[in-house]
Amino acid sequence: MDIADLAQRARAFERSLSARKKELAPDGFGWYPYGTLTNFQHLDRLLSGPNRDLLAVAGGAPVADIGAADGDSAFFLESLGLDAHVVDNAPTNYNSCRGVRLLKQALESKVTIHEVDLDARFDLPGENYGLALFLGILYHLKNPFNALESLARNARHAVLSTRITRYNRPRDHVGNKDSINRERVDLQAVPAAYLVAPDETNNDATNFWIFSEAGLRRLIDRTGWDVLDFMTVGNTRDSDPASNAGDERAFCLLRSRHAV
């Protein structure tokens, strides 16, 4: 199935799932507020050649949705006949994984839910995943090198997205002579990882490392992956690690050099 068809099905599934969430109207928690199935629209732009058949890339093996929010992508892939696993950490999940558990019950789903602290020890519950969705998670991890290296031993392919940066600060940043970012530095060609302050990115202390594109590519290579497709979206000329206007994301399809 071409990724364009998959993206179209994802839009239809998202409409149906959103209606179901409204019907459920849970007390005591809210649904994750950002649409995760929209990532399939990005994949339509990303994937090329034989990679456009993402289900064939998975090769019939289980798929892992890592950092799954409410599990929308996992439930969608299950609807296509795949064996889907959710891997998330309740203390850092938006609603402590209550959303994904409620949806599993309501949908009578067989999606397996695993609660794993990906920073304490990145151990996936299964082995030989055909595909792992690792979308918007890397910059929330304290130990991204260990995470990607461990993932390469358990998944043959991965779709990765993460925020990246070209500069160390926004253009309009005002700092004093003693500030860390007193000068604006072009990081695009430097294999760098920028460590944000607890309140620097969306006032969210769970943000840690934001890589330059060169830094991300080097990290991918050193953790045992080959890049099959790569693109960036958002502010692709003037990105920074702090402002909403400076948000740039990298999307890539990776193939592990370790997994069999």
What's the pLDDT at 15? 97
Asked whether residue 160 is assigned to any structural domain, the reply reads: yes
Convert the chain into a string of H (helix), E (strand) and C (coil). Answer: CCHHHHHHHHHHHHHHHHHHHHHHCCCCCCCCCCCCCCHHHHHHHHCCHHHHCHHHHHCCCCEEEECCCCCHHHHHHHHCCCCEEEEECCCCCCCCCHHHHHHHHHHCCCCEEEECCCCCCCCCCCCCECEEEEECCHHHCCCHHHHHHHHHCCECEEEEEEEECCECCCCCCCCCCCCCCCCCCECCCCCCEEECCCCCCCCCCCCCEEECHHHHHHHHHHCCEEEEEEEEEECCCCCCCCCCCCCEEEEEEEEECCCC
- The fraction of the chain above a pLDDT of 70, given in percent, is 97
pTM of the model: 0.93
Average pLDDT of the segment spanning 60-64: 95
Asked whether residue 48 is assigned to any structural domain, the reply reads: yes
Asked whether residue 178 is assigned to any structural domain, the reply reads: no
Q: For the chain, what is the domain count?
A: 1
Q: Which CATH number belongs to the domain containing residue 57 in this structure?
A: 3.40.50.150
Asked whether residue 15 is assigned to any structural domain, the reply reads: yes
Give the residue with greater pLDDT, 204 vs 256.
Answer: 256
What's the pLDDT at 181? 82
> What would the pLDDT profile of 215-252 be if each residue is shown by its tens digit?
999 999 999 999 999 999 999 999 999 999 999 999 99
Average pLDDT of the segment spanning 172-200: 85
> What would the pLDDT profile of 95-146 be if each residue is shown by its tens digit?
999 999 999 999 999 999 999 888 887 777 776 899 999 999 999 999 999 9
Domain holding 219, by residue range, is 3-170+184-256
Asked whether residue 9 is assigned to any structural domain, the reply reads: yes
Asked whether residue 21 is assigned to any structural domain, the reply reads: yes
Asked whether residue 175 is assigned to any structural domain, the reply reads: no
- Check whether 69 has a pLDDT greater than 90: yes
- Check whether 211 has a pLDDT greater than 70: yes
Whole-number mean pLDDT of the chain?
Answer: 93
Average pLDDT of the segment spanning 45-60: 97
- Check whether 197 has a pLDDT greater than 80: yes
Asked whether residue 231 is assigned to any structural domain, the reply reads: yes
